[in-house]
Amino acid sequence: MDCLSVSRLLCREYAGGTYFSFIRSAGIIYCSPELIDLSNECLNQVYLTARFFGDVIYRKFARTGFSVSAVGMGTYYDFRWIAAAALLGKQFSRARIMSAIRTGIDAGINLIDTAEFYRSEELVGEAIRGYDREKLFIATKVFPTHLRREKVIRACEKSLKRLGVNYIDLYQIHFPNPRVPIAETMAAMEELADRGMIRHIGVSNFSLPRMKEAVSSLRKYPLSSNQMHYNLIHRDVERDILPYCEEMGIALLAYYPVAHGKLADAHGGKTNVIASIKSRYGFTTNAQVALTYLISRSKNTFPIPRASNPVHVSENAALGGKLLSPEDIEALVSASG
């Protein structure tokens, strides 16, 4: 079996993530319907498949000069997960999440998003150990209650420690806090950049006026990104924020890129448009269509689907280097309402 044939393998998940089978995208059964136990052997197969799917798209992240995979990985699990981690010190599905993140890195994804609030920084730190740090682009966020100068510095020191790294590629303000002048927070961010603790400055959940305020508060460094809710169903950012990002060379990190799984649901996307795009571009999942829409619509957009299932991460990484034509982008928008 050569690499190209392996790259045509599809991972399909059965029984809630307990079993996998591997079949060819052409529909020819390779070693299926063999169900393999979720064991190291199975995870190795997932790694192998992820590696050979190939064709991960990379693009420059804003004006940083850093080449980042167009599709990244998010590490916000849910609120119960955070509460259990915070109150009980228990991280559910830790091994599975760890292998999901590593599967993504092995597949070529180098953008990983976390936040002090998510309680996943330590986990990310452990997952990236052993990989070439210089090739990864680690993004984390400071919580809105930590936006005064001393608190920003302290929060960053703690994030660095939890991540086990000596710099953060992208440090983002998680949400605006109207009680703290943005100029004070941005001055602290610039101080962190001067001290080499962070490389680039970003924001999240900033409206266009707030983004403009953030841009004009920065003295030495540009604003590199805004992280916003953006997917095929929820396209508000296309009205104002995305055009501004394009004009200013600012990256847009898209969170909820598959609408919590809704856009990945086979039953949710059975429109003729999605089916036609899937077959013409050789995509195997609806999630791939949803992610490719985002990265085709603008070269500044970087979706960050959650990494918790190695199979889904492999599928999300495997976009085959393809972008949608303007006609297909338009057709998807019309079909999505």
Ligand X SMILES: NC(=O)c1ccc[n+]([C@@H]2O[C@H](COP(=O)([O-])OP(=O)(O)OC[C@H]3O[C@@H](n4cnc5c(N)ncnc54)[C@H](OP(=O)(O)O)[C@@H]3O)[C@@H](O)[C@H]2O)c1
Catalog residues that contact ligand X under the rule CB under 6 A. Answer: 74-76, 113, 204-205, 227, 255-261, 264, 285, 287, 304-306, 308-309, 312, 315-316
Query: At a CB cut-off of 8 Å and minimum separation 6, what does 67 contact?
Result: 58, 59, 60, 61
Kindly tell me which of 165 and 264 has the beta carbon lying closer to ligand X.
Answer: 264
- Nearer CB in complex with ligand X: 144/182: 144
Opening angle at CA 209, ends 68 and 178, nearest 5: 100
Cα dist from 120 to 75, 146, 312, whole Å: 6, 18, 19
Name which of 196 and 279 has its Cβ closer to ligand X.
279
Residue 305's alpha-carbon distances to 105, 198, 244, in angstroms, are 14, 23, 23
What is d(CA 167, CA 57) in angstroms, rounded to the nearest whole number? 25
Answer for the pair 56, 107: CB distance below 8 angstroms, yes or no.
yes
| 76 is annotated as an active-site residue | no
Cβ 28 to ligand X shortest distance, Å: 22
- Residue closer to ligand X by CB (options 19, 191) is 19
- Helix or strand (DSSP H, E) at 168: strand 168-173
Catalytic residue among 47, 77, 118, 293, which?
A: 118
Identify the helix (H) or strand (E) that includes residue 170.
Answer: strand 168-173
Min dist CB 194 to ligand X, Å, is 25
Whole-number minimum distance, CB 335 to ligand X, in Å?
Answer: 19
Q: In this chain, which residue has its C-beta nearest to ligand X?
A: 74
Q: Which is nearer to ligand X, 214 or 304 (CB)?
A: 304
CA dist., res. 48 & res. 22, Å (int): 12
Report, in Å, the least distance between residue 2 CB and ligand X: 26
User: What is the smallest separation between the CB atom of 22 and ligand X, expressed in angstroms?
Assistant: 16
Catalytic residue list: 118
